[in-house]
A and B are shown apart, each in its own frame.
Chain A
Amino acid sequence: MPVLEKEGAQVWRRRTTGEGMVRWFGWLIGVAVFVVCWQQISAATTWFFVWDAPRIANDIWTRATPPKWEYITQLGRPIWDTLNIATLGTLIALCLAVPVAFLAARNTTPSALFVRPIALLIIVSTRSINSLIWALLLIAIIGPGVFAGVVAIAIRSIGFCAKLLYEAIEEIDTTQVEAITATGASRWQVMAYGIVPQILPAFAGIAVFRWDINIRESTVLGLVGAGGIGLQLSSSLNVLAWPQVSLILVVILFAVVISEWVSAKVRGAII
């Protein structure tokens, strides 16, 4: 226990002098890094615009309200597309994520030395690149449209689903697997009766959770041309039709809230 001798009496302290110094230097370096970063950001900023910001914000607000409600008749199809992008993308991702997860989990992988690193690489590389970047790439490759959006969402979701799924597989109860193996089951039977029933609730939870995230992400995919309601948002922004923009934002907010509600309900029912 670190104590300080003060006039013969021992006073309790939280840290020794050395620990305190290390901490102090850590904070010093952290603050210095932050100040440097802030200076760079501030140097790249046109401060005139920032001082002018309240007026601009007020101006945009007056232009954007009230939302142009009759525009909603043109939003039916984009919303349907957005829903499809999210749902089909999630389904494709799940189909691809299941084998990857089984290959990546330590207790089910056929080869921890060769196959597992490849599976982990797939997980990391698909996870660390945002769906908008995937969409940009796919639009250059397969052309703009809803299909590019579906594929972009699917690729982005593989890593996420596979990571959560393989963690669930690694945490299964081995006694059940052993019991199935003891009955003389083959490798696939062990998987179907020993492992799958244990991870099924986790799988359903992950699927709904990712679907919820994908609804959010698919609303903005249109900004780069990959279909959905983002397409309307970007064209409205381009012609500065602020009443339409505000209506689209309200619709997106509504969709996000509903999808979150659905996912919370379904997960509550499963778990």
Chain B
Amino acid sequence: MSTVRLEDKLGQGWKKPPFVKRAGLRWALIIGFVAYLIAAVLTIEVDWGRVYVGLDRGWQFILSFTRPDFVSRWSDIWEGLLESIMMTVAASVVGIAISIPIGLGAARNIAPLPVYVVCRGIVAISRALQEIIVAILLVAIFGFGPLAGFLTLSFATIGFLSKLLAEDIEAMDRVQAEAIKASGARWMQWINYGVQPQVMPRLVGLSMYRIDINFRESAILGLVGAGGIGATLNTAFDRYEYDTAAAILILIIGIVMGLEYLSGVIRAKVQ
């Protein structure tokens, strides 16, 4: 970096330094981005007439939030919601239970290389596949119903939790783990007293966050037949019963907010 002398700068106006330093690269990025934007906007076909017609329906939908109808389809809503919650609970428990050993295996400072490679492979596969695509395949294989949704959510939980747990283990303090090892602990004791207390707060926080995500995801799995509230919601939209749809959406938002609040309380307590 060349030194800038104060005398050269005196009397000149000051300008904000640009975000990208190299001028050529900056202009190339800007021009390329603008060209892409023009191309992208030009290729999107919007039927403004249809949009205009739909605005009225959109307004109806927004209005229906002021008078959501919980009553007339309550048994359907209740059934779907209960199924979503059950899928969430079961999948979170199984997913977390499986992702702990995989997370241990995917941490380079604990696991030997072959185990590490296998566990990282599982994590990569699970993260690369979208929940809804996994759900489609599992519904094709296991048939309709909450079992496919349960398996999908468990599978997705493994990728998410194992990766973050492994990263946390890799970033842990070696000194404490070594102290336990020096006291003559077996491998299990070493994990239990040297590693686990260090990663536990983060594991609890991440698990709560994942339960939250699992519930949100379980709301859409019904669209492809994997059980939960999604099927009810889809039917409500198809029949233009916006007040029922609004009721379901309000319930989902309420439960998600509740879960978020709960996870905030638990995380604050653990840390």
Contacts and interface: CB of A to CB of B under 8 A. Distances in A.
A57 B145 contact: no
A29 to B, nearest CB: 12
Contacts of B132: 132, 220, 223
A239 interface: no
A140 B40 contact: no
Contact of A60 (B37, B41, B90, B141): B141
Nearest to B50: A143
A45 interface: yes
Contacts of B253: 124-125, 128-129
B143 A49 contact: yes
Interface residues of B, number: 60
Interface string A114-137: 000000000011011110110011
Interface in A36-89: 37-38, 40-42, 44-46, 49-50, 53, 56-57, 60, 80-81, 83-84, 87-88
Counting contact residues on chain A (CB < 8 A from B), the size range is: 35 or more
Contact of B249 (A133, A142, A249, A257): A133
A216 interface: yes
Interface of B: 16, 19, 36-37, 40-41, 43-47, 50-51, 54-55, 57-58, 61, 82-83, 85-87, 89-90, 93, 128-130, 132-133, 136-137, 140-143, 145-147, 150, 216-217, 219-220, 223-224, 227, 230, 233-234, 237, 240, 245, 249, 252-253, 256-257, 260
Interface stretch (A5-13, A95-103, A144-152, A164-172): A144-152
A220 B133 contact: yes
Contacts of B240: 140
Nearest to B59: A141
Contacts of B219: 129-130, 133
B143 A50 contact: yes
Contacts, number: 149
A134 B85 CA distance: 21
A167 B257 CA distance: 18
B133 A53 contact: no
A238 to B, nearest CB: 11
Contacts of B147: 41-42, 44-45, 50
Given A40-B82, A233-B133, 8 more contacts: A41-B150, A44-B145, A83-B40, A84-B43, A128-B253, A136-B233, A249-B133, A252-B133
Question: What 3 pairs between A and B have smallest CB-CB spacing?
Answer: A49-B143, A128-B256, A37-B86
Contacts of A219: 130
A237 interface: yes
A145 B86 contact: no
A262 interface: no
A197 interface: yes
Nearest to A240: B140
B145 A146 contact: no
Given A132-B223, A137-B61, A53 B233 contact: no
A159 B84 CA distance: 23
Contact of B43 (A53, A80, A130, A252): A80
Contacts of A140: 54, 57, 61, 237, 240
A197 B141 CA distance: 52
A179 interface: no
B266 to A, nearest CB: 12
A100 to B, nearest CB: 17
A160 to B, nearest CB: 12
B136 A41 contact: no
A40 B150 CA distance: 12
B19 A200 contact: yes
A170 to B, nearest CB: 15
A217 B130 CA distance: 8
A229 to B, nearest CB: 11
Given A145-B46, A253-B129, A44 B146 contact: yes
A233 B85 CA distance: 29
Nearest to A242: B140
B40 A84 contact: yes
Contact of B54 (A38, A53, A143, A197): A143
A41 B90 contact: yes
